[in-house]
Amino acid sequence: MLEDDQLIINEVLKGNVDYFAKIVMKYEQYAYKCAIILLKDHHSAKDVVNEAFMRAYRSLSTFKNENFKSYFLKIVYNCSYELLRKNKRLELKEVLENETYEYSEFEFEKLEGSEIIVTALQSLAIEDKTILMLKYYYDYDYEKIANFLKIKPATVGSRLFRAKERLKKALKDRGGYFEQ
């Protein structure tokens, strides 16, 4: 998969720009799912996805043979964050320590279709949504999350626990269910 992306990128860099459509087709839904959860708005999510693809295309010459999926997700996240900040809808709050809840028995990807889950996720602060998505939807390990968010790996665990606790509360508030 990674080699396929690199081959496509190499073709685009050689001047075969039509190959970029393969990247778009491969990652469009992936980017939209990330953006819609962060932004809570279909039109804004679509705009962010388009902007992210334009930025990715313009920056391909500086792409350093890393994991394109991770690289692109960072662009989507940055575009989403910029839009939220621009619209002054970003809630920046201090995260409180609370490690009483574990929900490893759930697979985030299977839960994504549930309206209650999506609504609960959208009610969370962007920091909580992001860390939950990275861990349970994109299946990033702590090291990858730490690199993505530019935090220490030890911090990932505590933020993840707090985000899960907030998600649990949001689900209970919406009539969702959780067993400990």
The whole-angstrom distance between residue 180's C-alpha and the CA centroid of its chain comes to 26
User: Regarding predicted confidence, which is higher, 175 or 178?
Assistant: 175
**Domain 108-173 belongs to what topology?**
Arc Repressor Mutant, subunit A (1.10.10)
Q: What is the pLDDT of residue 119?
A: 76
Q: What is the pLDDT of residue 172?
A: 79
pLDDT classification of 141: cutoffs 50, 70, 90: confident
pLDDT digits (tens, 9 = 90+) for 106-128: 334 444 445 677 777 778 888 89
Q: What is the pLDDT of residue 114?
A: 58
CB 37 within 8 A of CB 121: yes
Structure token digits, residue 54: 């334009």
pLDDT averaged over every residue in the chain: 77
- Indicate if the pLDDT at residue 130 is higher than 90: no
What is the spatial distance between Cα 79 and Cα 73, in angstroms, rounded to a whole number?
A: 10
Query: Is there a common fold for 2-86 and 108-173?
Result: no
Q: What is the pLDDT of residue 42?
A: 87
- Indicate if the pLDDT at residue 1 is higher than 70: no
CATH code of the domain made up of 2-86: 1.10.1740.10
- Indicate if the pLDDT at residue 153 is higher than 80: yes
The whole-angstrom distance between residue 80's C-alpha and the CA centroid of its chain comes to 10
Percent of the residues in the chain that have a pLDDT greater than 70, as a whole number: 78
Residue 163: closest CA among 67, 44, 37, 72: 37
Altogether, the residues listed in the chain come to a count of 180
What is the spatial distance between Cα 35 and Cα 156, in angstroms, rounded to a whole number?
A: 21
User: Regarding predicted confidence, which is higher, 86 or 156?
Assistant: 156
CB 68 within 8 A of CB 2: yes
pLDDT digits (tens, 9 = 90+) for 41-93: 889 899 999 999 999 999 988 888 778 888 898 899 889 888 877 765 433 32
Domain boundaries, the chain: 2-86, 108-173
